[in-house]
Structure 1
Amino acid sequence: MKGNAVAVCAPGLQEVQQMVCEQYTTTTEGTHIERPENQSVYKIGIYGWRKRCLYLFVLLLLIILLVNFALTIWILKVMWFSPTGMGHLRVMKDGLRLEGESEFLFSLYAKEIHSRVDSSLLLQSAKNVTVNACNSGGNVTGRLTVGPKMVEVQSQEFQINSEDGKPLFTVDEQEVVVGTDKLRVTGPEGALFEHSVETPLVSADPFEDLSLESPTRSLSMNAPKGVHIKAHAGKIEALSQMDVVFHSSDGMLVLDAETVCLPKLVQGTWGPAGSSQGLYEICVCPDGKLYLTVAGTGSTCHENSHICP
């Protein structure tokens, strides 16, 4: 029905002071309808202890936000964050630049490490400093360890070069090469070689003696074109507890000097009458032993051969 209101109430509940009714109203525009006096009002929102808890939670979040903001500002100030880096660390166009002293707690991986032009590079550790070189598979191919008592290098070859790239010292599994013009040994006991030594020249410093010594074994010098021993301003001594043997397989032994002295050479007996008492003859035993005998008009070596064993 147009312009009318229909109210439907539950029968038998008129005694209840507040009665819930459902009204279905259809009106036309401009029609005024009076609302019933008794109608229920529902409040929408959070009230009571729930409201207080909500405000307290919002306040707690605000406090946490302020504390985080203050800690962030403090960390930025302490760590010296800047648009170019952090603290002593600067991000450069060609890499990273670290000024002052820094401590690394774990491994450091870098392609190249170098110091400033006006200062040196110092790597310091409480125990040791280890530098490793690895291949693409992660295996260590070279290692340099600087410890408190020893410097250890693990590699297939160890080489020291000069400023112009000339090898000065090279060590591998086969040999040790010293590329300098002169190897100087300044120890008081000289140099000790357990095996053979190959060198074109062995010399001593000026005004110093050169000694080649083998305390318990023999000393041998071999060269395909000869061995030259020279003393420009002194004498050469060959001392041996046993025998000194000069052997020439294809040639002769030449003693070229103004005077050849054999002070402890065994002398033979006197020669026959009429011999030159001031002259001596050097005789050789079959085993190479030399002895002196008084020279005569002929050889007296056979007469005094009883000296030979």
Structure 2
Amino acid sequence: MNLQPDNISLAGPGQRQMVREQYTTPTQGSSLERPEKQYVYNVGIYGWRKRCLYLFVLLLLIILVVNFALTIWILKVMWFSPTGMGHLRVTSEGLRLEGESEFLYPLYAKEIHSRVDNSLLLHSSQNVTVNARNPDGHITGRLTVGPKVIETCGQQFQIKSQNGKMLFSASEDEVVVGTGKLRVTGPEGAWFEHSVETPLVRADTSKQLRLESPTRSLSMDAPRGVHIKAQAGNIEALSQKDIKFHSSDGMIVLDAETVRLPNLPRGSKGSSASSQEIYEICVCPDGKLYLSAAGLSSTCHEFSRDCQ
């Protein structure tokens, strides 16, 4: 008795079709051949999907090789090393640059100094600007070196010597020169638009000292006196109008071996005038001086025609 496998197909709405195979076992004494399988299930990726997968793997391999080559090239071009990059070295004291370096954007640093045997050079095609900021980020000091002008901005500007002595200081209120001697070597001297307070004005040994006011008056005031001294020359006072010597509490002393007033007008000779041409200086009520021929007694008269 032969039993054939029954193929039963069960399918319902929304269900997959299932195939069931039933086999009957032969009875004793009968021989039945085992039926061959009707369905073969192949496991794997075949066709165009397999070719796309291999192409994708090949593309990833190419990208990996290109990235590795670019990384090696960048390391070689930038001169990366365990101690730094190119001319840049990382030390325990900070960063060290050897040779010339170019910065395209702002550089922030606490301290910049050169090597012991070289000078520090900052070069720019436009200008070099150094800014100092407070903790809030506001600029408190600025130094700008431009092609035509050097400009500094801050509350106070100071120049100090190597030992810390202040040489020059400038603020909004005053300018202080801290050296022992201020020397002006210009051919036109020094030009002051306002008053100058100083204990001493002196020229070089081989030069002349000249105090001049081209369009205004020249005034020298001192609470304890003005001392003018020329050790190896003359003292000249020139004025277009009047020269006045005024002492509010004291006197004016002309102490010299010879005192000359060569351009004083001379009065008429008196009847008792001698032939030796001796004169005396007379003072008019308005302060005018004139020479009068000396006689046995004074020839100065209060209402002399020379005072009119």
Q: TM-score, normalised by structure 1?
A: 0.89
SS at 1:69 equivalent: helix
**1: distance between equivalents of 2:52 and 2:235?**
110
The 5 Å alignment of 1:63-78 reads 63-78=62-77
Letter in 1 for 2:7: C
CA contact (8 A) 1:88 1:98 kept: yes
**1: distance between equivalents of 2:24 and 2:152?**
101
**2: distance between equivalents of 1:257 and 1:45?**
131
**1: distance between equivalents of 2:275 and 2:252?**
28
Q: Quote the offset at 1:181 in angstroms.
A: 1.1
The 5 Å alignment of 1:35-54 reads 36-54=35-53
Q: Quote the offset at 1:286 in angstroms.
A: 1.7
CA contact (8 A) 2:284 2:302 kept: no
Q: Match for residue 9 of structure 1?
A: 7
Q: Quote the offset at 1:7 in angstroms.
A: 5.5
Structure 1 pair 35/113, CA: closer, same or farther in 2 (3 Å)? farther
The 5 Å alignment of 1:1-309 reads 8-10=6-8, 20-23=19-22, 36-273=35-272, 275=274, 277-302=276-301, 305-309=304-308
Q: Quote the offset at 1:275 in angstroms.
A: 4.6
Q: Quote the offset at 1:21 in angstroms.
A: 3.4
Q: Match for residue 28 of structure 2?
A: none
Q: Quote the offset at 1:218 in angstroms.
A: 0.5
Q: CA RMSD in A?
A: 2.2
Deviations 1:263-303 (A, max 9, x none): 10111110223556432111111221111101112111107
**2: distance between equivalents of 1:249 and 1:144?**
51
Sequence identity, in percent? 74
Unpaired runs of 5+ in structure 2? 10-17, 26-31
Deviations 1:206-250 (A, max 9, x none): 121100000110001111111100011111000111111111111
CA contact (8 A) 1:167 1:179 kept: yes
CA contact (8 A) 1:276 1:294 kept: no
Letter in 2 for 1:9: N
Structure 1 pair 6/159, CA: closer, same or farther in 2 (3 Å)? farther
**2: distance between equivalents of 1:200 and 1:71?**
75
Q: Quote the offset at 1:49 in angstroms.
A: 1.2
**1: distance between equivalents of 2:292 and 2:34?**
169
CA contact (8 A) 1:157 1:171 kept: yes
**1: distance between equivalents of 2:143 and 2:23?**
96
CA contact (8 A) 2:285 2:302 kept: no
**2: distance between equivalents of 1:23 and 1:106?**
83
**2: distance between equivalents of 1:141 and 1:299?**
78
CA contact (8 A) 1:7 1:21 kept: no
CA contact (8 A) 2:282 2:289 kept: yes
CA contact (8 A) 1:276 1:296 kept: no
Q: Match for residue 13 of structure 2?
A: none
**2: distance between equivalents of 1:187 and 1:274?**
56
Deviations 1:109-131 (A, max 9, x none): 00000000000111111100000
**Stretches of 4+ aligned residues off by more than 6 angstroms:** none
Structure 1 pair 24/113, CA: closer, same or farther in 2 (3 Å)? farther
Structure 1 pair 274/180, CA: closer, same or farther in 2 (3 Å)? closer
Structure 1 pair 228/274, CA: closer, same or farther in 2 (3 Å)? closer
SS at 1:77 equivalent: helix
Unpaired runs of 5+ in structure 1? 12-18, 27-32
Letter in 1 for 2:277: G
Structure 1 pair 59/249, CA: closer, same or farther in 2 (3 Å)? same
Structure 1 pair 184/171, CA: closer, same or farther in 2 (3 Å)? same
**2: distance between equivalents of 1:71 and 1:219?**
80
CA contact (8 A) 2:273 2:293 kept: no
CA contact (8 A) 2:279 2:294 kept: yes
Structure 1 pair 66/240, CA: closer, same or farther in 2 (3 Å)? same
SS at 2:8 equivalent: coil
Deviations 1:155-200 (A, max 9, x none): 1100000000000010001111111111111111100000000111
Letter in 2 for 1:106: Y
Q: Match for residue 14 of structure 1?
A: none
